[in-house]
Amino acid sequence: MEKFSYIGKDMKRIDATCKATGEALFTADLALPRMLVGKALRSPHAHARILAIDTTQAEKLPGVKAIVTAKDTDGDKWGVFKYTQDQQFLPTEKVRYVGEEVAGVAAVDEDTALEALSLIAVTYEVLPAVYTIEDALAPGAPQLHDVYPNNINVHVVIDVGDVKKGFTESFLVREDTFTAPEDAYFQGEPYAVAAQFDHSGNLEIWMPNAGPHLKAKPLSNVLKIPLNKVRVRKITIGGAFGGRSEISPADVICALLAKKAQRPVKIVYTREENTVCTRQAHAMITQIKTGVDKEGRVVARDITCHMDGGAYSSTGPIATSVPFLCMEQAYRMENVRYNGYRILTNKPIRGMFRTHGRGFACGVDIQLDMLGEALGINPLTMRLRNARQTGDLTPTKSYVASCGLTETIEKTGKMSRWAEKFGKLPPYHGIGIGCNSVQTGFPMGIRGGSQAFIKLNEDGGVTVITGIVDNGQGNDHMIVQIAAEELGLTPDDVQLISADTEVTPSDPGSYSMCETFIGGNAVRLAALDVKKKLFRIVAEEFGVGEGELSAKNRKIFITKDPQQSMSIAKAVRMALTRNESISGEGSYWPKVDWKREWVKNPYGQLSETFSFGTVICEVKVDPETGQVEVLEVTASQDVGHALNPKVVEGQFEGGVAMGGQGGMLTEYLQWHEGRVLTPTQLGYLVPLAIDMPKINDIIVETNDPKGPYGAKEAGMSVAMSAAQAYCGAISNAVGVYFHEYPITPDKILKAIEEKKRETEKSNP
């Protein structure tokens, strides 16, 4: 008998039809009775003191039903951690970036709401501003917050081994600086939020989110209402990528307007607002010093990374740490030091991002290529000699229980024909490789674990109740697939209730792709609980032990004699006749070191498992235009076990699009004195389907000992590795190592010209 019915099989996602037909509803599609249109008034200044806000004329405008400003709040400050509480959702004293919200309006239609915004008079005292990391750190620079001297918001220090001694003992040492500007999440769905209060003071709210419970608690705190009166409702979500992990000003403003107007309110961001007024990814300046032995193995590393965090803390301690952690998870090293600085500037707020920093990850890998070239060792071999292995401890003391990095390197190299191509391609053709790792979920306070409930219906069908959210990556299908597999049912037998804080239990949220590992484990354990109860009833009926039974095809049967069987529906009815209502409960908390903290103590088990990825990219560069044609990409990742291979491959391909095709070729924000000049797809060039190259997907399975059916994260390691592979391929094609990202045609042409001049000088 085949081991699994659904696990490891290509399956159509349960939400495929409704999304393909347009039946799926996003927040912007909601239409509640008597709903008002909400709009936010935004600061035109990057840094200014608010002297006065006069809403008198706006309040007189017919059709305006509510206006809120800072006076409608308690002035509390939000922060993911106690020590980063620095953002007021409607500021009382100062604005710190262009686009920051200063007031909200709810009106009967959009035109009235926009006119009301124009009638609100705000008196500002414009203050000096800082727009770059260098300006913010300069002596005498304007200070954004009194509590962060020198505009240093977060400083993460990690120091392991003896770095100085390591460099002394190294055969070869080099030091380089790598930079990258901000990039945008640019989710397919612009941010939208809808809210309403009932007469008992209960808030009902819909918005894109990475975890409804991660929204409900801060909303309760900020709005000063009990948590049981905040209901974050499930809604279809069009992408997150790390940018929807926390509460947003729009959530609070919409709720305040709904409460004041006593009518439902909906705020829908324009594409420009979605780029400027939600989270962005950090700009980076990364200095990397690496020492290696004669075989290319890393002996010591010293990294200093300055990250532009924008105006407020957001997820700052995490975002400052994760680029380093991904690197230390991927590559072995005994002596390493990291100084990560998150710097405040008068720009929009930055958060965690799916690719965790081009200016960091690409720098680490490109420097390996440079060192390897000096030693006569090719880039693929350099990765193999430094690759993390199963059973290792990372420098910050995380045990690696499963690791297929070496296998991803070898299989990707073989499929891409690396040995036949590297160093043997025609002029201006190049091939590059990148490797990286991602932690599969880490705790964010008390919401580190996931719970799930399953109830059985009289006909043998089940309802799964879980807080897991689906941002578009297929989590809903994953839940149904696990429940159906464990209970011996079909996916059609499983009804799903998810991501609704009123009816679903706690869940940590979908960040670092932890839902499969943590939430999936909780669902599986709940199904096991149900199955144990069903088996007890059937075992008594057949006179056998519970361990002698199996469940499959909607039946429970004796494993060694499948003809002796009972339908699950009959077992449920038998339980009901005995006054037993069969339900199941499961919970899973990651086995991590709870004493570990991002800044004060960055040591101990960070995550229970880690994913590992490798990407190889082949390109052709036009030396006349600097244009890059990506010929082929091969992407591989250790995913533990692929629950639904087609979905996993889709994650790989999305990762290549974001990390490589967009992240290294076209995506970056342009600025002028704190204003984003490229907030739409006319200027911020997100790759389209027509832009994508041929992608070969390789799924590597290590069957993680703790993952549900051996599964862990799928997709993020590929996204980061893609950036590095693209960078390596272009550098290989041009014969120049690039230190500034993304690698745009102007940079390529400049590099080609400089190389020509150097060649002419050396060969007069």
Identify the pLDDT of residue 151: 98
Separation of alpha carbons 129 and 136, rounded Å: 9
**Residue 320 DSSP symbol:** H
Residue 298 resides in a domain: no
Residues 534 and 617 in one domain: no
Pairing of strands 555-558, 549-552: antiparallel
Q: Is residue 267 part of a domain?
A: yes
Q: Scan for tokens 């594409």, then name that residue.
A: 271
Q: What is the pLDDT of residues 512-568, one digit of tens each?
A: 668 899 999 999 999 999 999 999 999 999 999 999 999 999 999 999 999 999 999
CB atoms within 10 A of CB 752: 18
Contacts of 763 (CB under 8 A, 6+ apart): none
Same domain, 731 and 631: yes
Tell me what pLDDT residue 613 has.
Answer: 97
376 and 249 in one domain?
A: no
Count of the separate structural domains present in the chain? 3
Pairing of the two strands 494-498 and 462-466: parallel
The pTM of this model reads 0.95
Is the per-residue pLDDT at 678 higher than 60? yes
Does residue 438 share a domain with residue 448? no
Q: Are residues 498 and 537 in the same domain?
A: yes
Task: Quote the CA–CA distance of 716 and 721 in Å, as a whole number.
Answer: 9
Per the structure, the complete domain to which residue 615 belongs is given by 357-442+603-758
Residue after which a domain boundary falls, among 541, 557, 588 = 588
User: Tens of pLDDT along 59-85?
Assistant: 999 999 999 999 999 988 988 888 999
Rounded CA separation 278/310 (Å)? 12
User: According to the 3-state scheme, what is the secondary structure of 413-436?
Assistant: HHHHCHHHHCCCCCCCEEEEEEEE
What pLDDT score does 502 carry?
94
Whether 595 is covered by a domain: the verdict is: no
CATH number at residue 560: 3.30.365.10
Tens of pLDDT, residue by residue over 582-632, are: 999 999 998 999 899 999 999 999 999 999 999 999 999 999 999 999 999
Does 206 map to a domain? yes
- Judge if 611 and 728 occupy the same domain: yes
- With respect to residue 179, please indicate whether it lies within any of the assigned structural domains: no
Q: What is the pLDDT of residues 368-404, one digit of tens each?
A: 999 999 999 999 999 999 999 999 999 999 999 999 9
Query: Quick one: 479 and 565 in the same domain?
Result: yes
The pLDDT of residue 514 is 83
> Do 372 and 499 have their domain in common?
no
Identify the CA nearest to 220 among candidates 205, 198, 237. Answer: 205
Contact between 487 and 254 (Cβ < 8 Å)? no
**Above 90 in pLDDT, residue 158?**
yes
Same domain for 115 and 46: yes
Distances (CA, A) of 685 to 239, 660, 678: 17, 13, 9
CATH number at residue 37: 3.90.1170.50
Distance CA 713, CA 640 (A): 8
Average pLDDT of the residues in 308-313:
97
